[in-house]
Structure 1
Amino acid sequence: MEYEDYGDEYDQYGYHTHDLDMHGDYERQVAESYKVPEVVRNFLVYLAKAINEGNVYELQSMYENSYVKLTERFYKSTPWPLSKDIASIVHDDEKFDILYKELYYRHLYARVSGGPSISERFESYYNYCHLFNLILSANEPVQLELPNQWLWEIIDEFIYQFQNFSHYQSMLNKRTAEEIDQLREHPKVWNVHSVLNVLHSLVDKSNINRQLEVYTNGGDPDSVAGEFGRHPLYKMLGYFSLVGLLRLHSLLGDYYQAIKVLENIELNKKSLYSRVPACQITTYYYVGFSYLMMRRYADAIRTFSNILLYIQRTQRNLFQQRTYQADQMNKQTERMYTLLTICLVLHPQRIDESVLSTLKENYGDKLLKMQRGDLDEFENCFSFACPKFLSPVPPSFDLNSLNAINSHKEPFVAQLKVFMDEIKQQIMLPTIRSYLKLYTTMPIAKLATFLEMSESDVVNYLLCFKHKMKNMVWIKGTSGLEGEFQSGSEVDFYIDKDMIHIADTKVARRYGDFFIRQIHKFDELHRMISGIQI
């Protein structure tokens, strides 16, 4: 995909194509016009120096420690100084100015009461345009190196702000007439096509898919990376953009495409490229959710179990700082446990004992309610754990107020209906499974008596059981879409005349599965110990 130069469209960042005060409300500007503390001034000077020198080690320390501590001390619930207020501290430094604004607006979204104004949302978008133009329009790699954590959070925040803006403009009943006029006059700001274009352009510029393909086959990624792909900035932005596309397609409800964009990333092995925990958690959350919505429950369970086990083992390091990113990872973890609970109700199977223990301790009540067929509990769990879905098109700004009130809920309502329709088809299966496990042979009439329904309905549910328990399951290969159909039920049966003949399909495999899991655990532990020694 060819990269669109947003700079031309917006007069090379002069922004005279609109009449907005791009620094937000007047009151906020007045409140921020204060003397910058000396320690903050020193931090900004050192930050600019580290950016220009490409000192990644120093940048990582400043970004993950100094910036967080200064924010907690001086700007816990207020904005950092405007870029114009620190212009005298760092003079004429384009890269620093763009990156500082990226931090400024990210903090505004996360911590400042009331959130950003509409003009600040626009200005943040233009700043991202400026950043991506700088990186993608260059004839040779831009001399800029940033820590992987910062690069991931640039992509993550870019998608989050698009998601936030989409909901913001959909709630027309809460917008003033002036805000609606501004939204109508700027249809290309935070447009889904521009966001997709940026992510695909970063993927193409880095040649990351070809690098991952060669790496998976045991080759040297640098041999196919090209001039830009060998540069850490482009390589990591390309990788993180693949995860961004996974997230974006999931938000839009295109689950097949969401997993397809990761076809060169082997999720079941540790990746050379991604050492950012938040990126790993985001990847597995959206992959697992996509599998759930595609009715690939075994793959969803495997995906959630793997990442939750990883979180359990590294939790102390992951959540040692109480930043909003750490808070987000905590919330994401809770959502994944909830989704795993849903999957285990629909598709019971063995999982790691430590994950199962945590799940039963914290989500046992939800598990029991869903096993009993409580549709409200299914709906509540899905509503809590699902992403905040988006519509690919903005609302019609000419709609009457009655329609405008609920327009932001339409994507969620549509996805909830798909999920609940599937649940209603399977609502009797846990009960049928519990009866089948008690017998080796059973007359249909007897099961009909237990279930208090007609024999014809029982036969229909038995056929449904056969159909729903046979899922596509990943076996090998890089692509998460590959696999073969397998029956996931621990009981199998066939019907001969009016008799159900039942067999336990897991008896011969249980011991083998147990030893295989232990071998994998010790193998992972050995690799971890070896890595520490190195």
Structure 2
Amino acid sequence: MAANYDYDEAPATYDDANRQDLGYDPNFVPDSVKSFVVHLYRHIREKNVYEIHQMYEISFQTLSDRLFKDTPWPSVDAVAHYVDNDQVFCLLYREMWFRHLYARLSPTLKQRIDSWDNYCSLFQVVLHRVVNMQLPNQWLWDMVDEFVYQFQSFCQYRAKMKNKTEQEIVLLRQFDQAWNVYGVLNYLQAFVEKSNIIQILEQEKEGLEQFTATDGYDYSGGSNVLKVLGYFSMVGLLRVHCLLGDYQTGLKCLLPIDISQQGVYTSVIGSHITTIYHYGFANLMMRRYVEAIREFNKMLLYIYKTKQYHQKSPQYEQILKKNEQMYALLAICLSLCPQTKLVEETVNSQLREKYGEKMARMQRYDDEAFAIYDELFSYACPKFITPSAPSFEEPLVNYNQDAYRLQLKLFLHEVKQQQLLSGVRTFLKVYSTISLGKLANYMEVDEPTLRTILFSYKHKTHAVDSDGKIISNADVDFYIDDDMIHVVESKPVKRFGDYFLRQIVKLEGVINDMDRIRLE
């Protein structure tokens, strides 16, 4: 998963001046790095996916921690002759080089532009040439993830115009196509189309393909690179459209992937979390609360059960951060749409521990409640971007927060519209039938106003799903017959299985502890 820090808190820029201070020589290649690139090159040529994965996930991180904690890796020119000046390998090496730079240091504007050029060259090779290699899904996912992250990072960087130097402004004018939003979307869409991944997934449903069963790998001697990049690009498109605030288009891009089933996206933990986080957030913003709750619940339960297996992973901190953000989003969803029956007991107990008190206050819909909605949304939302280039003629101002403020404003406007509906829900939960006049009297409004409120309740508790069907989010629904309101309340199904499973695990723990105690 790409590094994801706020650039206000980013490390100091790594430029040519402090390279010399730290003694960094881009042309010096330690023996361990020489051995790393030679072996990685050999394994890629031999299509040894297991060894490539080990070197990519473990060796690269180990060498980075040991030798390049505060400096970049050796330049691609310094290692090229060890790998026969192979163009594709050099492009892959530079992709890793820039990713390390973004994660450990803060790139200059020139380095951001160079990284864009490298991605363009690498993607052109994959799209327009025969790439006869197999790469691990983790690496292919990281390529798409990092590509979108660097686009997001560039937009945030460019939007902070106030303190830009003259040289930076000249570069921004000169390279105005670098990290252009249309270029980013076009590459991701090109991968989807050129890989024929949508058709492959359709054929798989008919039993004519084995894409998911093989995790996207080609065991007949071919390449998995284009197909898997096409697959992960659908997730990348969802993420980009969420950053732009176009949630409907984002969800449409993900439609070919059935997220109710296991798939290639679940084979990489970073891909799995990113997919569900953005899918759930997009549904939240489109008022499809039930769908968002259902998917957040499944993902949080999965992380709860498996996070101990990722403790040594470089993505562990990001897993924990996204876990906390999804709990905050789940708290928002359940406050706007109380559907606790959709939440597993384990997730519910964690949620109550983290946000129980705040969720109770959020039900009041006063100024304090709106402040909590604001706080949780600001903490858990993606880092929205303004993709358009700045106007260099105007007085230079920062506009990096504009997109976030707009999305926050739209969200809080929706929350305020729910304020009146909370009173309706309270009364409907008490009665099975009640006359319009009586409810109007209780709510201190006249009957025409009450009818408007009830219509509004119907509207706000229903949404349009991806198939164009109207779905209900209501825990309490009703219909009106002859001025009588008839309430239809969905009764939660009691689940005893989770409770007994937790008690069994506790009992086994006690028995194991007792077995370890030696009686004197």
TM-score (norm 1): 0.81
Structure 2 distance, partners of 1:326, 1:61, is: 17
The alignment status of 1:232 with 2:224, answered yes or no, reads yes
Count residues in correspondence: 473
Equivalent residue in structure 1 for 2:331, among 332, 341, 363: 341
Tell me by how many angstroms 1:119 deviates. Answer: 0.8
Change (3 A) 1:230 1:464: farther
Shift of 1:75: 2.1
Name 1:3's counterpart in structure 2.
none
Contact between 1:47 and 1:62, CA under 8 Å: does it hold in 2? yes
Instruction: Report the equivalent of 1:39.
Output: 32
List per-residue Cα deviations over 1:185-229 (Å, max 9, x = no partner). 11111111111111111112211010011112332268xx9x999
In the alignment, which residue of structure 2 is the partner of 1:119? 110
| Residue 372 (structure 2) pairs with residue 377 (structure 1) | yes
Q: How does 1:92-131 map to 2 (within 5 A)?
A: 92-112=85-105, 115-131=106-122
Shift of 1:85: 3.8
The 1:229–1:412 alpha-carbon spacing in structure 2 relative to 1, beyond 3 Å, is farther
Distance (Å, rounded) in 2 between the aligned partners of 1:164 and 1:229 = 38
Aligned-partner residue type, residue 75 of structure 1: F
Paired residue secondary structure (1:174): coil
Report deviation, 1:453.
6.5
1:8 aligned partner: none
Alpha-carbon separation, structure 2, partners of 1:196 and 1:151: 17
Given the superposition, is the C-alpha separation of residues 432 and 504 from structure 1 closer, same or farther in structure 2, using an over 3 Å criterion? Answer: same
User: For structure 2, which runs of at least 5 residues remain unmatched after alignment?
Assistant: 1-13, 502-520
> d(CA) in 2 for partners of 1:51 and 1:158?
22
Aligned partners of 2:67, 2:484: CA distance in 1, in Å? 71
Alpha-carbon distance between aligned partners in 2 of 1:193 and 1:308, rounded to the nearest angstrom: 34
Counterpart contact for 1:32–1:82, Cα < 8 Å: no
- For residues 142-181 of structure 1, what are the structure 2 equivalents within 5 Å? 142-181=131-170
Aligned to 1:75: 68
Match of 2:476 in 1: 491
Q: Report what 1:388 is aligned to.
A: 383
1:404-450 deviation line (CA, Å, top 9, x unaligned): 22x22221122122211111100233343233322335566765676
The reply on whether 1:208 has 2:208 as its aligned counterpart is no
What is the 5 A alignment of 1:309-388? 309-317=301-309, 319-323=310-314, 325-349=315-339, 350=341, 351-373=343-365, 374-388=369-383
C-alpha displacement at 1:459, in angstroms?
A: 4.7
How far did residue 261 of structure 1 move?
A: 1.3
Distance 1:77 1:368, change over 3 A: farther
Could you tell me which residue of structure 1 aligns to residue 247 of structure 2? 255
Determine the structure 1 residue equivalent to 2:11.
Answer: none
SS in 2 for 1:492: strand
Deviations for 1:92-141, whole angstroms, at most 9, x for unmatched residues? Answer: 232222112111111111112xx000111111111111111221121xx2
SS where residue 428 of structure 1 aligns?
helix
d(CA) in 1 for partners of 2:446, 2:166: 59
- TM-score by length of structure 2 reads 0.83
Query: Which secondary structure does the structure 2 equivalent of 1:348 belong to?
Result: coil
Superposed CA deviations along residues 338-371 of structure 1, whole A, max 9, x for unmatched, are 1111111111111221111111111223312222
Q: Conserved in 2, the CA contact under 8 Å of 1:291 and 1:300?
A: yes
Give yes or no for contact 2:237–2:253 (8 Å, CA) kept in 1: yes
SS for the counterpart of 1:367 is helix
Deviation by residue 1:221-267 (Cα, 9 ceiling, x = unmatched): 68xx9x99963111111101111111111111111111111222111
After TM superposition, give the deviation of residue 273 of structure 1 in Å: 6.3
Q: Indicate the SS of the match to 1:437.
A: helix
Q: Which amino acid aligns with 2:143?
A: I
SS of 1:261's equivalent in the other structure is helix
Question: Aligned-pair distance for 1:452?
Answer: 6.5
Matches within 5 A, 1:219-298: 219-220=208-209, 231-272=223-264, 274-298=266-290
**Unpaired runs of at least 5, structure 1:** 1-22, 474-480, 522-534
Could you tell me which of 423, 427, 434 is aligned with 1:435? 427
Q: Sort the Cα spacing of 1:242 and 1:230 in 2 relative to 1 into closer, same or farther, 3 A.
A: farther
CA contact (8 A) 2:80 2:86 kept: no
- Contact map agreement 1:429 1:465 (CA 8 A) in 2: yes
Q: Which residue of 1 aligns with 2:206?
A: 217
Distance change >3 Å, CA 74–CA 366, structure 1 → 2: farther
- Identity level (%): 42
Distance 1:251 1:397 in 2: 24
